[in-house]
Amino acid sequence: MGYWHNNPMHTFFYPGHIEHDPAKIHRPDDAQWNRYYAEVAVRGQILHDAIQAANLGPITHPGDFGLSPIQDVHAHEMINLLQNAYEQMKLEMGREVAIPETFSLRPRSRRHHYSVFGQLGFYCFDTSSPIFAPTWNAAYWSVQTAVSATALLLANQAANMQTAVYALCRPPGHHAAADQFGGFCYLNNVAIAANWLVQQGQRVAILDVDYHHGNGTQEIFYGRSDVLFVSIHADPRYEYPYYWGFADEYGYGSGYGFNHNLPLPPGTQGPAYLSALIKALTHIRAFVPDTLLISLGVDTGQGDPTGTFLLETPDFFEMGRQIGSLGLPTAVIQEGGYRLDTLGQHVTAFLTGLQTASTPEISPRT
């Protein structure tokens, strides 16, 4: 089994993400509103600067793999909406942001909707993912960031180099399903990267450690056996996304047994979380993947405005160390994390733990 022994970690980052910024609809006197639009542009720069300061390795722009990897996962109609909703909203209503007002619940009509509101309500499941003029470009390059990381991972494998790669994706992606978006997410970065890897002949495991369940990723792979999905997250009886992420969701058809959810109660602290991580890693070992993708959300950290967990910086280091001890080629895809004063230190702690893993034993920090 190979280990990293402090090899440099390559980071992919697209600086143009900053043009997509929900902070544009900030309300100074409404903390709850601002929590709902917590995925602000400064997050990306904070992470970039923290990675640079930690000197983990080179930071470069992603390559362009085109629309094909996106089209292989997401519905054409939803892609078209994400590309055109801003202009259509501006034309119909004169507004500078597209947010749905009415939702298609049941039955979900398959008729074509001419109004942008009809389209938004069909393909979006909440109001936390506003579409501005630069949103499509940011989402597109967030995907390219993830695919670039996995492409480098394959190249490293071919060269017999056991190095981890970090995709500093923004906006995040794990709530976006094949034909629905929401939860700050527009295109599912990790699912697109995983599907691309499968097309290259890889057997892929995804471990989602975001505070919120990756409902979109689960849905995309729920009937498939070539991608394992394991998620540790807040119990959906209490937390967003509410309707997905229960422990008895195992997949269906040929995908049965390839989906594992480990929901945890409000107020979970480091030792309990790391105990759940042991179970998650057991599922991954049993699957024997060629490649491991991590949906990394640090909104599990204490004081995050969108979460209730109480993880501290050493817990993130230990998470990375335990995952790294698997010795698998690993790409880390950035998801959530919204407490800005601890965001950088939590992510760099995780990546440092992953990078410096040097022992296969797995034991939680006490």
Catalogue the E-assigned strands of the chain.
10-13, 59-60, 165-168, 204-208, 227-234, 259-264, 291-296, 330-334
Active site residue 233: no
Q: What gap in Å lies between CA 310 and CA 11, rounded to an integer?
A: 27
Any bridge partners for residue 230, and if so which?
Answer: 207, 260
State the catalytic residue, choosing from 20, 74, 175, 346.
175
The letter for the amino acid at 310 is L
At residue 361, what are phi and psi to the nearest 5 degrees? -70, 145
Q: Are the C-beta atoms of residues 300 and 273 closer than 8 Å to each other?
A: yes
What tokens appear for 149 in the block? Answer: 């990381």
Q: Are the C-beta atoms of residues 228 and 331 closer than 8 Å to each other?
A: no
DSSP string, 100-133: -SS---SS---S---SHHHHHHHHBSSSS--B-T
Residues 6 or more apart in contact with residue 319 via CB below 8 angstroms? 209, 273, 274, 277, 350, 353
Catalytic residues: 175
